[in-house]
Amino acid sequence: MKTQEDGTQASPELGRRQFVKGAAGAAALGALAQWTPAFRIGPADAQASCAVPPNFPSSIELYQQAYQNWSEAITVDSVWTAVPQTPNDVVTICNWAVQHGYLVRPRGAMHGWSPLTMAQQAACPSNILLVDTTQYLTAVTISTATSPATVTAQTGVTMDVLLQDLETAGFGVMACPAPGDITLGGALAIDGHGTAIPATGETLPAGMTYGSLSNLILSLTVVAWNSTTNAYALTTFTRTQPPIKAFLTHVGRAFVVSATLQVGANYRLRCQSYVTIPATTLFAPQGSSGQTIASFLSSAGRVEAIWFPFTTTPWLKVWSLAPTQPLTSTVVTSPYNYTFSDEIPVELSNLLSEIIAGDAALTPSFGALQLSIVQAGLLFTWTYDLWGWSKNTLLYVKPTTLRVTANGYAVLTSRANVQGVINAFVTEYQALVASYEAQGLYPMNGPVEIRVTGLDQTSDVEVTGAGSPQLSALRPRPDQTAWNVAVWFDILTVPGTPGSDAFYTAIEQWLYSTFTGSYAAVRPEWSKGWAFTTTAGWSNTTMLGTTIPYGLTVGQPAGDNFAAAAATLDEYDPYRLFSSPLLDALLP
Ligand SMILES: Cc1cc2nc3c(=O)[nH]c(=O)nc-3n(C[C@H](O)[C@H](O)[C@H](O)COP(=O)(O)OP(=O)(O)OC[C@H]3O[C@@H](n4cnc5c(N)ncnc54)[C@H](O)[C@@H]3O)c2cc1C
């Protein structure tokens, strides 16, 4: 193997010529990797089987379009979709929907996994109206009149645009979801998060949070039922008004048209990649010395481990605060610098095709190839050590990346326990993988991803009396004051891989039975997979009706918990316009 400048090693399997050729051949997996809702059908050409929404306000554009979520597990043709030009158009749509018995589903980039927006169903659902926020509800206004500065943004704006506007004005966020093509509305709905806790000696700058984006909210404008006028209307809640606690992270049970967020001064980040630290070292038991996750958290505070199946050295990214350019760093002036992970080389697509066709025993080779691509990619694109304004390394996943499915959980615990939690998780994961392999099954063919964030501490909000997000996975536990971090775990696999739902069920049951008491607790990552049975996600009735609500109730004040959030969301949407079968089960 060839050793790089940073001590990492390039794969012998994928030379530069092959790598470049492979990247160019990415289209080979096009059907699996990319999808564009290309067609639109107007009311005049409506499919015969699909009634035009009756008496729909003529001033608002309406067309039929397919809905498809990220993993493509939900693909519904010809869903009636409205395009509001203003927040008041959304109000008009909602009042029309009450009259005509329709559900109103805000639609952002559709880049999630869980069926929060709608369930898989036959084409053309008769009473669902999608509302596409991305075309007009995109205004962004930055105000420096207050300290900290604020940004007021309509919820259809993408994180790409929002973070670029903030950067131009000199502002940024501590952490954010890795893809920037998602909308602000979609990110706030599910407590969008990145990875960041304070490095040793680091203090929180004004306007920032180590928690989720939801914890930056100072006020929200939502479409809500007004019981005086007996109609839906625009309503603004500030961070100190009790109802906002249900809306800060609402899991899709609301329609938010704009949000005002606090923001901090922008800053420069360095992001270094490591691909030669053994998993046994990185994920070693609590108290181990050397290059553990805990050691990187102490020195830098920001890590992400991506561990491909059946490989021994994860891809570790470590971000650190670096006001001036380190000598060995490459300056980046835009995001999405890991082009090799956003394009699918033909070698990978061929191997995946063989696995999908039934040769599951190729999964270890698939894992090895994924790691080789990263190793070679980091070397040939000169991206193993990047430096620039915060967003340019915080955003790194493009929609052209492999479309896989994922489960997702946050484990709340104290910072001192992080290494132990990770070690326990990977030990269980490996044992499960081995037990499946012994049966000739390879249910997980994508990586394990591990990140660590702070919690949604109201003290991070520069407003006295700020309310705590009742449905956020990062809501602190008042009865566990030592808990100050969440370890996020995801395991990715190609949708429909044999055994995957059973595997996901086993790991979910293990997580919930292991991380208990005063040691740690588990909550779902709303946008990903949870509530598994051996045949499907989001379908375990005990998880939906008992376990998950309990996780957002235990330790919380009476009247300020999961049930309180459900009641508030119902009060402001008594017609349940903003719901779906999953939300009806979770928040009945
Ligand atoms: C490849 C990939 C990587 C990801 N990485 C991360 C990550 O690093 N961190 C992270 O936190 N998440 C991550 N996610 C998850 C992503 O943040 C969520 O799925 C997010 O909800 C997607 O936003 P969207 O615009 O696509 O929303 P959609 O998928 O269109 O909608 C998602 C939910 O938000 C609701 N919603 C959308 N707009 C509004 C609105 N205006 N008002 C009220 N509700 C609204 C919808 O009703 C629905 O319930 C990732 C997703 C993908 C596909």
**Per residue in 408-426, pLDDT tens?**
999 999 999 999 999 999 9
- β pairing state of 405-406 and 385-389: unpaired
Q: Is residue 510 packed enough to be buried (19+ CB in 10 Å), middle (13-18) or exposed (0-12)? A: middle
pLDDT tens column, 458-490: 999 999 999 999 999 999 999 999 999 999 999
pLDDT at site 3: 35
CA of 528 to the centre of ligand 1 (A): 10
What is the pLDDT averaged over residues 156-166?
A: 98
Q: By C-alpha distance, which of 483, 128, 450 is closest to 282?
A: 450
Distance between CA atoms of 104 and 203, rounded to whole angstroms? 42
pLDDT at site 7: 37
CA of 161 to the centre of ligand 1 (A): 15
**Closest C-alpha to ligand 1, atom 43:** 255
Distance between CA atoms of 319 and 198, rounded to whole angstroms? 11
- Give the range among 24-38, 83-97, 285-299 with minimum mean pLDDT: 24-38
What would the DSSP string read from start to end of 135-181? TT---EEEE-SSSS-EEEEETTSBHHHHHHHHHHHTEE-S---SBSS
pLDDT at site 44: 62
pLDDT tens column, 237-247: 999 999 999 99
pLDDT at 31 over 70: no
Distance, CA of 336 to chain centre: 16
C-alpha distance from residue 362 to each of 26, 312, 315, 336, 531 (Å): 20, 17, 21, 30, 29
What is the pLDDT averaged over residues 394-421?
A: 93
Q: By C-alpha distance, which of 263, 274, 255 is closest to 105?
A: 255
pLDDT at site 157: 98
Annotated catalytic residue: which of 403, 451, 475, 523? 451
Q: What ranges in 227-362 are assigned the alpha helix state H?
A: 244-247, 279-282, 293-299, 339-342, 346-356
Collapse the DSSP code of 559 into the 3-class scheme (helix H, G, I; strand E, B; otherwise coil) and give the result: coil
The yes-or-no answer on residue 250 being catalytic is no
For residues 270 and 329, is the Cβ–Cβ distance under 8 A? yes
Annotated catalytic residue: which of 343, 347, 449, 525? 449
What would the DSSP string read from start to end of 438-500? HTT-----S-EEEEEEE---GGGSSSTTPPP-TT-TT---TT-TT--EEEEEEEEE-TT-TTH
pLDDT tier for residue 2 given thresholds of 50, 70 and 90? very low
- β pairing state of 171-172 and 103-107: unpaired
Residue with tokens 């599910």: 190
pLDDT tens column, 76-105: 888 999 999 999 999 999 999 999 999 999
pLDDT tier for residue 529 given thresholds of 50, 70 and 90? very high
Q: How far separated are the first and last CA of the chain, in Å rounded?
A: 57
What is the pLDDT averaged over residues 11-20?
A: 32
What is the pLDDT averaged over residues 341-366?
A: 87
Distance between CA atoms of 406 and 397, rounded to whole angstroms? 15
- Looking from the CA of residue 137, the nearest atom of ligand 1 is 41
Question: Which residue among 527, 538, 569, 576 has the greatest number of ligand 1 atoms within 8 angstroms of its CB, and so is best to mutate?
Answer: 527
- Give the range among 17-26, 151-160, 376-385, 547-556 with minimum mean pLDDT: 17-26
CA of 44 to the centre of ligand 1 (A): 32
Q: Which residues line ligand 1 (CB under 6 A)?
A: 70, 105-112, 116-117, 133, 155, 177-179, 182-183, 185-187, 189-190, 192-193, 252, 254-256, 397, 401, 527
pLDDT at 279 over 50: yes
pLDDT at site 12: 30
Collapse the DSSP code of 279 into the 3-class scheme (helix H, G, I; strand E, B; otherwise coil) and give the result: helix
pLDDT at site 213: 98
User: Regarding predicted confidence, which is higher, 556 or 122?
Assistant: 556
Beta bridge partners of 195: none
For residues 423 and 284, is the Cβ–Cβ distance under 8 A? yes
Q: Please state the length of the chain.
A: 588
The yes-or-no answer on residue 111 being catalytic is yes
pLDDT tier for residue 71 given thresholds of 50, 70 and 90? confident
Provide the mean pLDDT of the chain.
91
Query: How big is the chain by its Cα radius of gyration, in Å?
Result: 23
CA of 108 to the centre of ligand 1 (A): 7
For residues 269 and 319, is the Cβ–Cβ distance under 8 A? yes
Cα within 13 Å of Cα(60), Cβ side: 27
pLDDT at site 449: 98
For residues 454 and 323, is the Cβ–Cβ distance under 8 A? no
pLDDT at site 39: 53
pLDDT tens column, 198-220: 999 999 999 999 999 999 999 99
Distance between CA atoms of 489 and 349, rounded to whole angstroms? 25
Cα within 13 Å of Cα(94), Cβ side: 29
pLDDT tens column, 149-158: 999 999 999 9
Q: Is residue 303 within a helix (H) or strand (E), and if so which, with residue range?
A: strand 302-307
pLDDT at 26 over 90: no
Distance between CA atoms of 245 and 238, rounded to whole angstroms? 10
C-alpha distance from residue 431 to each of 286, 361, 394, 408 (Å): 19, 17, 33, 19
pLDDT at site 77: 85
What is the pLDDT averaged over residues 264-284?
A: 98
The yes-or-no answer on residue 304 being catalytic is yes
Q: Is residue 403 within a helix (H) or strand (E), and if so which, with residue range?
A: none
Distance between CA atoms of 350 and 356, rounded to whole angstroms? 10
Q: Angle 521-212-386 (CA atoms, 0-180°, nearest 5)?
A: 110
C-alpha distance from residue 15 to each of 2, 277, 364 (Å): 11, 22, 20
